[in-house]
Structure 1
Amino acid sequence: MVIYADTNLQRIQNDKAINTTASSLGTGTIINDEGLILTAAHVVDNADELTIDVPKRGHFQAKVLASYAPADIALIKLISHEGDFKAVQIADSDKTSIGEEVFIIGTPYGLSHTLTVGHLSGRRIHPSNNDIKLEFLQTDAAINQGNSGGPMFNQQGELVGVVSYIQTKLDTHSNSTSKALSLDL
């Protein structure tokens, strides 16, 4: 699903306060039938208003329930009286092996519901401020702006990670890898 995040901004122009709205988008995954969604924290953290486009169901408002910036993960909830949302199965990401094929669904550059295929190419441990070790999964699947918060699925269609960021090494042989937060629920 597509997440539209609007942030209200105020700036001073010619000694007058001008109110504007900055909009961004990302992707998320419904993880239960009541409309709980996993996404990247940077997609929703500064948003004043969230609108979620749920395929074949329409647009819904949402609110952030929890967010953890060091892991770049957030849990949001659809604000709806409707229920019975189709949820994905969550896998144990520890059982996903390096070299295994993975699938990324996202909204790169606003092109919703786009699928890219790659392989799990590595596991990276990042220490956080409070001595918690965070594991990120590295993939060679094509990921671009708008894929943030999108699901990484294994071959069984189970969720193994949430797209977080693109890491690029700048040298004469440009090397780009994408990372998703590992899910161990």
Structure 2
Amino acid sequence: MAPSTFTTAFPSGKTVPQPQPMGAGVRLRSDRPHPAVARIVVPEQGATAYGSGTLIDVRDNFGLVITNWHVVRDATGTIEVLFPGGFTSKARALKVDADWDLAALVIWRPSIEPVSIAAAAPQPGELLTICGYGQGNYRCATGRCTKYYAPRLDFPRQMVELDVEARQGDSGGPIFNRRGELAGVLFGAGQGTTLGSFGGRVGAFLATLAPDIGRAEESLVAEEGVAEERVEEPARQVATLRDR
């Protein structure tokens, strides 16, 4: 069974001018949200779901945000994306993947530098940092990569685990490596750990939407040893943390 879900909340608002862009390699701090990490609001039937996402590409007048499929799965109205500098945009899901819990959202282009997808898979023992807005408060937390899982028996081992637990409300948030690159997209947690689709899987998912990004990651997925290994059982059960 695939790992669980997280969500988060944010107030809606109009688009406002965005401050000067900051680099994707900014120092990760819990008291200062990463400029490319956004909060997402999704209207549902009789409720509102919330999540986090990361700006990973900009071109022409548009930007591309990566988040979780379960965050936007039950949308009944317009999705909105809010960046910490104040820029707000309506969003539309261009592509989703239920197996890896990924969704790509197109937004109006913000004046923010997008995050690069890591060129190498995280290795056991490597320090990784998760970020998200929880139930309203941004936080980053660092742990070490432990192992990889698969969502099903017939799937490759491309869910990275690290030994720090995400909070309810962090769903769709980034997993950063020490270089500030996107090493994964988190979607489940339990027993002191967090799981997410690793960067190579994310890049391959985006290949048809952003060829310049996806081409390298498609090769990475094919070549990385971790991408070709199979596990004897699917990813372990983790607590469902959906927040509505």
Provide the TM-score with structure 1 as the length reference: 0.79
Q: In the alignment, residue 84 of structure 2 is paired with which amino acid?
A: P
Is 2:133 the partner of 1:107? yes
**Equivalent pair of 1:71/1:134 in contact (CA under 8 Å):** no
Counterpart position of 1:3: 40
Counterpart position of 1:16: none
Structure 1 residues 48-94: Cα deviation after superposition (integer angstroms, max 9, x where no partner)? 2211111214221101001011110110111x2x4543200110342
**Aligned equivalent of 2:67, options 19, 24, 39:** 39
- Take 2:160 and 2:144, find their aligned partners in 1: how far apart are those partners? 10
SS in structure 1 at match of 2:82: strand
Counterpart position of 1:98: 124
Structure 1 runs of 4+ with >6 Å offset = none
**Equivalent pair of 1:27/1:39 in contact (CA under 8 Å):** yes
Distance 1:93 1:45, change over 3 A: farther
**Equivalent pair of 2:69/2:101 in contact (CA under 8 Å):** yes
Counterpart position of 2:152: 127
Q: In the alignment, residue 31 of structure 1 is paired with which amino acid?
A: I
Aligned length: 160
Is 2:114 the partner of 1:87? yes
Counterpart position of 2:169: 146
- Take 1:108 and 1:121, find their aligned partners in 2: how far apart are those partners? 23
Q: Percent of aligned positions with the same letter in both sequences?
A: 28
- Take 1:124 and 1:93, find their aligned partners in 2: how far apart are those partners? 17
- Take 1:83 and 1:53, find their aligned partners in 2: how far apart are those partners? 10
**Equivalent pair of 2:52/2:133 in contact (CA under 8 Å):** yes
Provide the TM-score with structure 2 as the length reference: 0.61
Counterpart position of 2:4: none
Structure 1 residues 150-185: Cα deviation after superposition (integer angstroms, max 9, x where no partner)? 00000010001001112x3xxxxxx34210111212
In the TM superposition, residue 109 of structure 1 has moved relative to its aligned partner by 1.7
**Aligned equivalent of 2:187, options 155, 164, 167:** 164
Calculate the aligned-residue CA RMSD, in Å: 1.7
* Larger Rg over CA atoms: 1
In the TM superposition, residue 125 of structure 1 has moved relative to its aligned partner by 2.5
**Equivalent pair of 1:139/1:178 in contact (CA under 8 Å):** yes
Counterpart position of 2:194: 178
- Take 1:93 and 1:116, find their aligned partners in 2: how far apart are those partners? 21
Greater helix content: 2
Q: In the alignment, residue 28 of structure 1 is paired with which amino acid?
A: G
Distance 1:60 1:53, change over 3 A: same
**Equivalent pair of 2:70/2:101 in contact (CA under 8 Å):** yes
SS in structure 2 at match of 1:43: helix
- Take 2:75 and 2:57, find their aligned partners in 1: how far apart are those partners? 23
In the TM superposition, residue 134 of structure 1 has moved relative to its aligned partner by 5.0
SS in structure 2 at match of 1:31: strand
**Equivalent pair of 2:133/2:170 in contact (CA under 8 Å):** yes
